[in-house]
Amino acid sequence: MRLDPAVRVTGLLVALVASGFLAVHAAPDDGHVIGIWPVGVASALVLEARRRWAPALVGVVLAVAVVTIWFGGRPGEVAAGYATGIALETVAVLAVLTRGRPGRPALRTDADLRRYFAACASAGSIAAVTGAITSALTGFGDPAAVALSLGAAHLASQLTLLPFFMGLPRHGSVGGGLERVAQWTAILVITPLVFLPQDLPSMAFMVVPLLAWGALRIRPLEALAQMAALLFFAILMTTYGRGPFAAVPEVFDLSPDARGLLLAAFACTCALIVVPLMIRVGQHIVTSRQARSERDKVQSIVDGATGIAIIGADADGLITLFNPGAERLLGYAADEVLGRSTRILHSMRAVVEKADELGTARDFSSVVREVVGAEHAGTHMRFRRKDGVERVHSMTLTRMVDERGDVVGYVSTSEDVTDQVDAQQRLHDALDAEREAVDRLREVDRAKDAFVSSVSHELRTPITSILGYLELLGDGSYGHLAPEQARALQRVSDNSDRLLGLIDELLTLSRLSEDGLALTSRAFDLREVVQEGYDVVAPAWTHRRLDVTLDLPAEPVPFVGDREMLERAVVNLVGNAVKFTPEHGSVVIGLSTVGTGPGVPEGGEARLDVRDTGMGIPQQEIQQLFSRFFRSSIALERAIPGSGLGLSITRAIVEKHGGVIDVESAVDRGTLFRVRMPLTG
């Protein structure tokens, strides 16, 4: 549980005062530095405090440093100079590590490690500079020696103490309990042994491998604790004149501060070994956990894809992965194929067929080289099951490469699409058969049209002759007719006229089917065409009680087109309106012009509306209304005669003039036919 900030700050302050006195006390009385003063604790004190407390705590650190150094026997001006350097160090460490951000600085990544080294180096440099300046101003010791000793001591203090107050990697011990016991035992046993000799300073570095062992195998905080325990023992032994560093000044005739310098170098070495290894292990563990997590995730995806065969192979084509989907689709158990060549999954015939399709050599390796890659994703390849049955798979083959670009293996993902391929082939065959049937029907239709055209031509001449003779009989050229004979003759004449009209429509229809409707082109007033069509149909309602109205514009409507054909279209529309409108109904024929609109050329359009109040047309039959020979169900029900060709011919005429014809209708409420044609002249 993390302590309250005030409690932590108070504890650190007490530790700073106590360790400060001890450090100065442990320094040689005839030396000019202050031992390994706990400047790392001072930096931690400022780091642990809230930002608003930081300036006040820097002042506290300055005061503690002055007091401990002065009471340790150093002159007051020297204490002030050294203390000023210590205060500046804490400010520099705070600035480098936190970069103005709140919270405890982390020590988990390479970037954190670089900031940690930069902070410690800046602290050591400040100590060296302020120590040299203090020595030069006060005459206390040699400035260069003081700078070297003081800078090394403060660098060691920061390197060894700061990590305890930073965010360390969150990993547990890699080694087991026995291994941890062995490590601590080695530290506690070997450290005294290497510090007993007084004439071999290098012996002290024999414990460094033990620290490295701990940094690699146990929790970060425990590894730091091992380092702290070793350094505490080394400082204690050196303070009381024991160990390889204590006798260095006398043996080598050096300054008394030399043993402090060697001790600081030893501490720096330990920290530079333990801290980077500790971070690297933490990163490796985090990376390993992430890799395991990703591996497990991929494995669960691969195992869960029971409908897809996922097969992995090494660079030599030997199977290394065979997921449950592959087992289900291919019939092999994974144990049966692992370590075997992927060639067992393809017959030679399938390889040859694929090679011919790709245009490459007829061997397995060539096909693999061609198929691999995104451009052939989803290619069809036949796979041979364990029972020998071949199935078509939609396959994607991917080449796996390492960071150097060398091929390390292949991964194939495939899905059985045999049923889909068979269905597509059947559909293709059915479409081919349908196209052939349609072609045959078109041929039959052309033959029928040719037959109708031929018969219509052959019938027109005798019917015309019959009508001529009927006219002669009717006007008495061949003798007087009795009333009954005259009535019978009139019925024959009427039916002959209807037959001739049907023949004319069949001939027009034949022209539409064979070579299109050829139109003449001349200018005329469209009002005259509508009036003439109206007059042609007028006899049909003279003996019926119908209200038929014609509404024409006052101004001429100039138009360029085939006058005869347009008149025929008007006759068809008006005739149908009259024929399908019962007694007491009404028919309104209106011609108008409108301005330019979407799809209408400049000059506007002519609009012809033919509206009746007749029997109407069912909505479901309107789409078929312009089909040849179509008769509405109501017309058939009420036995209204007709050929079903008039509207088909009318639409062809309108479309030949660049127009459109629309219809609106409701059963027993009437029908509106609207013709719109561009005015081109």
Report how far residue 223's alpha carbon sits from residue 664's, in angstroms, rounded to the nearest whole number: 93
Tell me the one-letter amino acid at 76.
Answer: G
| Domain of residue 397, residue span | 305-416
Q: What tokens appear for 668 in the block? A: 């027993």
Dist CA 79 CA 70 (whole Å): 5
- Does 29 share its domain with 142? yes
Q: How many CA atoms lie within 13 A of 519 on its CB side?
A: 19
Are residues 393 and 330 part of one domain? yes
| Structure confidence at residue 575 (pLDDT) | 84
Rounded Cα distance between 666 and 217, Å, is: 92
Give every CB contact of residue 32 below 8 A, 6+ residues apart in sequence.
135, 140, 141, 142, 145, 146, 149, 255, 257
State which of 204-213, 257-266, 603-612 shows the largest mean pLDDT: 603-612
Mean pLDDT of the chain: 81
Q: Kindly report, residue by residue over 621-679, the tens digit of the pLDDT.
A: 878 777 767 667 676 676 566 666 777 888 888 888 889 999 998 888 888 999 999 88
**Element (H or E) spanning 392, and its range?**
strand 390-401
User: Quick one: 292 and 312 in the same domain?
Assistant: no
Residue 601 is predicted with a pLDDT of: 45
pLDDT tens-digit readout, 248-267:
666 666 677 777 788 888 88
Q: Specify whether 319 is located in the same domain as 283.
A: no
Q: Are both 290 and 436 inside the same structural domain?
A: no
| CATH number of the domain enclosing 500 | 1.10.287.130
Shared domain for 174 and 162, answered yes or no, is no
The reply to whether 200 and 220 lie within a common domain is yes
Listed in sequence order, the residues at least 6 apart from 349 whose beta carbon sits closer than 8 Å to its beta carbon are none
Please check whether residue 157 is in contact with residue 38, taking contact to mean a CB–CB distance below 8 angstroms.
Answer: yes
Strand partners, 11: none
Q: CA 334 to CA 321: how far, in whole Å?
A: 8
Instruction: Kindly state whether residues 439 and 363 are assigned to the same domain.
Output: no
**Confidence at 84, pLDDT banded by 50, 70, 90:** very high
* Residue 200 burial class via C-beta count within 10 angstroms: exposed 0-12, middle 13-18, buried 19 and up: exposed
pLDDT for residue 599? 42
CATH code for the domain in which residue 396 is found: 3.30.450.20
Q: 508 and 547: one domain?
A: no
Q: State the Cα–Cα distance between residues 639 and 634, nearest whole angstrom.
A: 8
- Write down which residue in 478, 512, 546 finishes a domain: 512
> 396, 416, 436: which is the final residue of a domain?
416
More confident residue, 482 or 167: 167
Taking residues 541-562, report their average pLDDT.
87
pLDDT for position 681? 47
More confident residue, 653 or 488: 653
For 245, other C-beta atoms within 10 Å of its C-beta total 24
Domain limit, last residue, from 278, 300, 322: 300
Residues 141 and 107 in one domain: yes
Residue listed under structure tokens 């080289």: 369
Domain shared by 44 and 146, yes or no: yes
Q: DSSP state, 37?
A: -
Average pLDDT value for residue range 91-106: 84
**Report field, pTM of the whole predicted structure over 0.75:** no
Q: For residues 340 and 346, is the Cβ–Cβ distance under 8 A?
A: no
**Average pLDDT estimate for 61-87:** 89
Question: CA angle at residue 79 from 78 to 85, to 5 degrees?
Answer: 90
Per-residue pLDDT of 185-201, as tens digits, reads 888 888 777 776 666 55
Rounded to whole angstroms, the Cα distance separating 269 from 612 reads 110
Among the residue ranges 351-355, 482-486, 601-605, 665-669, the one predicted with the least confidence is 601-605
DSSP 550: E
Pair 43, 118 in one domain: yes
Give the total residue count for the chain.
681
In terms of C-beta density within 10 A (0-12 exposed, 13-18 middle, 19 or more buried), how is residue 339 classed?
Answer: exposed
Q: Which residue type occupies 378?
A: G
Number of structural domains the chain divides into? 5
117 backbone dihedrals φ, ψ, rounded to 5°:
-65, -40
Strand-pairing partners, residue 594, are 605
